[in-house]
Chain A
């Protein structure tokens, strides 16, 4: 597959569900949000990824113009200890979904380019194992939010 990111995104918009499409084009993202932290501290990014394709897709990385580094992480609290580790890839099963949610898989967004305000849309480009990419708007939510918020949960605006 040639590296044509813009074409891949366009393909994703036009041909969702088509056979043999690249991984990014098979992915539908919902409940995308970022827990914005004060004082330039690292923020957590969350999203639920649905794979509409017949083959497994694997998220391998992410980037954003608003943050210098975005890493794929997993938190655990097994044995009473809170731990975090980097993961190389996160598989989304064919016709299945994976939730990046607080306390589990998440994006760690570090070194914000400028202050991110609550309510802003932060573009995050998700990269998949076949090199395809898709850009998703993540909603900037306050530090003490526990989820994506009411709008995102119901899937429509007030």
Chain B
């Protein structure tokens, strides 16, 4: 298990190193990321959704910002708030650099998550968080684009239901290219380290 994941990591590192050489990496060597690198393995950030101010937005609206994409829903009392609270701490630790990043919280429960609810929710965590919701079809398109998934659990009889959903955080650079994948098991240190590399590549974290 450990050997195979090491080999996979090595293989991925080689791919990343090779692509850096081909594209003429300005630093001469690949950035020493700690999170799982997905450069070239996932499509650029793109979607058609509604932000928490009720305005239609697309992936292009977030070019120029490092984007942290996370799927969840506001009636989720534990895992989603924990993830967003951790991301808030990460943003705090980045200091002024965090202004170059946005947390994009996409609802997988658009039936209940109106822009107004999303607005109250994301602002309780971080001022650089954006709540995105939309039609079931538009949300599903984004989920599928990143090979994520979600499923609505049976109603408990009182109109309440839970939604199981992918727990990963997808990280895009300022050009909208998918770069890194973080899971709840990854440390705040790793997130701070790697976001520092994306936000200020010339400076050591």
Residues of A within 8 A of B (CB): 35, 37-39, 41-44, 73, 75, 77, 80-84, 102-103, 106, 108-110, 142-146
Contacts and interface: CB of A to CB of B under 8 A. Distances in A.
Q: What class of interface size applies to chain B in its complex with A? A: 20 to 34
Nearest to A69: B158
Contact of B124 (A37, A106, A110): A37
Given A77-B167, A102-B82, A103-B82, A84 B76 contact: yes
Contact of A146 (B80, B82, B116): B82
With a 10 A CB-CB cut-off, give which of A84, A142, A144 has the most chain B CB atoms: A144
Contacts of B79: 75, 77, 82, 84, 103
A103 B78 contact: yes
A41 B121 contact: yes
Interface of B: 72, 74-82, 84-86, 88-89, 116-117, 120-121, 123-126, 149, 160, 162, 164-168, 183-185
The residue in B74, B76, B86 that gathers the most chain A C-beta atoms within 10 A of its C-beta is: B76
A80 B74 CA distance: 19
B74 A144 contact: no
A35 B86 CA distance: 13
Given A77-B167, A80-B168, A144-B124, A39 B77 contact: no
B111 to A, nearest CB: 15
A84 B162 contact: yes
Contacts of A77: 79, 167, 183-185
A144 B168 contact: no
B163 to A, nearest CB: 9
Query: 8 tightest A-B contacts by CB?
Result: A143-B124, A38-B120, A82-B167, A102-B82, A42-B77, A82-B79, A39-B120, A44-B77
27 contacts: A35-B77, A37-B74, A37-B77, A38-B120, A39-B116, A39-B120, A41-B74, A44-B78, A77-B185, A80-B167, A80-B168, A81-B165, A82-B72, A82-B79, A82-B80, A82-B167, A83-B162, A84-B76, A84-B78, A102-B82, A102-B85, A108-B77, A143-B84, A143-B85, A144-B81, A144-B125, A146-B85
A81 B77 contact: no
Given A80-B183, A82-B165, A143-B85, A106 B77 contact: yes
A156 B97 CA distance: 35
Contacts of B149: 81
Contacts of A84: 76-79, 162, 164
Contacts of A44: 77-78, 81
